[in-house]
Structure 1
Amino acid sequence: MRGSTASCSAELARLRAALSEADAVVIGAGAGLSAAAGFAYDGARFRENFADFIERYHVTDMYAAGFYPYASPEEFWAYWSRYVLLNRYEQPPGELYAALLELVRGRDYFVITTNVDHCFQRAGFERKRLFYTQGDYGLFQCAKPCHEKTYDNETAIRQMASRQSGLRVPAELLPRCPVCGGPMSMNLRCDDTFVQDEGWYRAALRYERFLEEHSGARVLYLELGVGYNTPGIIKFSFWRMAAENKNARYACLNLGEATAPRELGARAICIDADLADAIRWLK
């Protein structure tokens, strides 16, 4: 174990016990989980895959590059097709997600995540136990939007990534809405145009029902790599639900940001350690 994980061995032991005693586990996953799994959006991984974009546009990381004001849709989709290909279709979820799946295999669990890289489903987690609240790199929507429907984009993304030249994609490959003929966009929650389609609402309902069915049970709310960009979706709701259910426990694993409300007392487990090391230790 690395030093940070070794120093948390007592809390990790408490978490292992809480896992074994839980009637149900609700996993709340943020960007820190995928970062620990190797999906870094900056540094060497960014430079290796986007050196030409860095040279021309002086962008500093994948996230910032996604919001760069590209001069044309051909340039915009040159970046985004490469970005989605890398983070949604090419790089496998890796050992961390596999280890996490082993921790909950055979248990009654549900996952709510703000991540949009689809790693949980690609790693083998049951689709009916997943709620992606903020969208999916693998989906297009009408940019307006003129209707509430999303579309799988793998074929289009692969074509644009393979045929781009000079940091542009051919104009004929630009994704167009099949209803209004206007431009398509990524199905990501970044403004009020985000489409919550039928699949989104079905997943939200399954999550709500899971919480209702386990109200008052020994639930472990397991928060992994969740920061404070959108704390109301996972962190604050986990705090509230754990506080309302005296049989519940709350665990926060987050390097540098492992905190819990004082009101939860001994029912809170805070582990300030590398997520990959901590999950491997638990497994």
Structure 2
Amino acid sequence: MGTTPEDLAVQIKAAEAILVGAGAGLSTSAGFTYDGSRFTDHFGDMIDKYGFTDMYTAGFYPFKTPEEFWAYWSRMILVNRYETPVGKPYQDLLRLLEGREFFVLTTNVDHQFRKAGFPKARLFYTQGDYGLFQCSVPCHDTTYDNEEAVRRMAGEQRDMKIPSALIPQCPVCGKPMATNLRSDDTFVQDEGWQAASGRYAAFQEKHLRGRVLYLELGVGGNTPGIIKYNFWRRVHDNKEAVYACVNLNEAYAPAEIADRSVCVSGDIGGILAGMLEMKQR
């Protein structure tokens, strides 16, 4: 059906509804990488001590103490959640979707959609949020804003350790807190998560038929079942639907829906910016 930004622009304009599926590639296109200078500028001492190679794999390091663990994680959250500006690709995407019936499903946890001004009612963060803590057990299903705690841990750490008094503890059971990120079955799906899940389900139910555009942006192979495979199946089942994939290196569609797919290879930010220029002409 097409391989160019112009082809994608045609499908966006023709769609009755648009379901956006956004992965890590969208934030990468905004410059929010987990390696390179963003990594070395903020974690040089930890690179020397632990041999870290990037922020993502460093998150799995078996720190010996909670003071060391939270020294890393408070910096990581601060850099990627609280001190990042609004990414231009997110702003451009919102402007492309203005006035349209749309919903966003994302595995990203950096809060960029909300920073860019996307309405909360049109977002479902399936994998959590860097900005929330939860009980690590968990003993209850409430999450807690962590900005104040994160800023204190990042600001008061010395020699890659936070003060023991700052180790976050569950206010109910006293056990350690954890960041609200999906990694195993301890992930807390709180009231806000359940409400967003319900809104997402309602959007899908409303648009089972008709000219629906399933717009996938920067989705890789870590959790393809959440967005990619889901979108393929829905386009396959709805013969009026169109699948679109924008990805730097992995823009493709299965043969079963290839005749109703637009796969655009290249930098997502540049492609969205170019499409916005086309729209404004």
Judging changes above 3 Å, is the alpha-carbon distance between structure 1 residues 114 and 10 closer, same or farther for their aligned structure 2 residues? closer
Residue 216 of structure 1 corresponds to 209
Residue 261 of structure 1 corresponds to 254
Q: Residue 160 of structure 1: SS of its match in structure 2?
A: helix
Residue 203 of structure 1 corresponds to 196
Structural RMSD (CA) = 1.0
The one-letter code matched in structure 2 to 1:178 is P
- 8 A Cα contact 2:3 2:262, kept in partner: no
Structure 1 residue 226 displacement after superposition: 0.3
Distance in 1 (CA, whole Å) between partners of 2:60 and 2:258 is 41
Residue 57 of structure 1 corresponds to 50
1:157 lines up with 2:124 in the alignment: no
Structure 1 residue 174 displacement after superposition: 0.8
Q: Residue 137 of structure 1: SS of its match in structure 2?
A: strand
Residue 147 of structure 1 corresponds to 140
1:128 lines up with 2:121 in the alignment: yes
Structure 1 residue 219 displacement after superposition: 0.8
Structure 1 unaligned residues grouped into runs of 5+: 1-8
Correspondence for 1:39 among 24, 32, 36: 32
- 8 A Cα contact 2:107 2:127, kept in partner: yes
Q: Residue 246 of structure 1: SS of its match in structure 2?
A: coil
- Give the percent of matched residue pairs that are identical in Structure 1 and Structure 2: 57
Residue 99 of structure 1 corresponds to 92
The one-letter code matched in structure 1 to 2:206 is E
Query: Over residues 164-213 of structure 1, what are the superposed CA-to-partner deviations in whole Å (9 max), with x where a residue is unaligned?
Result: 11111111111110100111001101111111111111101100000111
1:281 lines up with 2:274 in the alignment: yes
The one-letter code matched in structure 2 to 1:170 is P
Distance in 2 (CA, whole Å) between partners of 1:214 and 1:30 is 22
Residue 78 of structure 2 corresponds to 85
The one-letter code matched in structure 2 to 1:12 is P
Residue 172 of structure 1 corresponds to 165
The TM-score normalised by the length of structure 2 is: 0.96
Structure 1 residue 266 displacement after superposition: 2.3
Query: Over residues 122-151 of structure 1, what are the superposed CA-to-partner deviations in whole Å (9 max), with x where a residue is unaligned?
Result: 110000000000010000000111111111
- 8 A Cα contact 2:23 2:107, kept in partner: yes
Residue 14 of structure 2 corresponds to 21
Query: Over residues 232-269 of structure 1, what are the superposed CA-to-partner deviations in whole Å (9 max), with x where a residue is unaligned?
Result: 00000000111111111110001110110111132100
Q: Residue 86 of structure 1: SS of its match in structure 2?
A: helix
Distance in 2 (CA, whole Å) between partners of 1:17 and 1:266 is 15
Residue 227 of structure 1 corresponds to 220
Judging changes above 3 Å, is the alpha-carbon distance between structure 1 residues 81 and 196 closer, same or farther for their aligned structure 2 residues? same
The one-letter code matched in structure 1 to 2:165 is E
1:114 lines up with 2:107 in the alignment: yes
Residue 241 of structure 1 corresponds to 234
Structure 1 residue 66 displacement after superposition: 1.0
Query: Over residues 22-77 of structure 1, what are the superposed CA-to-partner deviations in whole Å (9 max), with x where a residue is unaligned?
Result: 11111000111111111100112110111011011111100111111111101110
Q: Residue 48 of structure 1: SS of its match in structure 2?
A: helix
Distance in 2 (CA, whole Å) between partners of 1:120 and 1:191 is 24
1:270 lines up with 2:272 in the alignment: no
Q: What is the number of equivalent residue pairs in this alignment?
A: 275
Distance in 1 (CA, whole Å) between partners of 2:33 and 2:25 is 9
The TM-score normalised by the length of structure 1 is: 0.95
Q: Which runs of 4+ in 1 moved over 4 A?
A: none
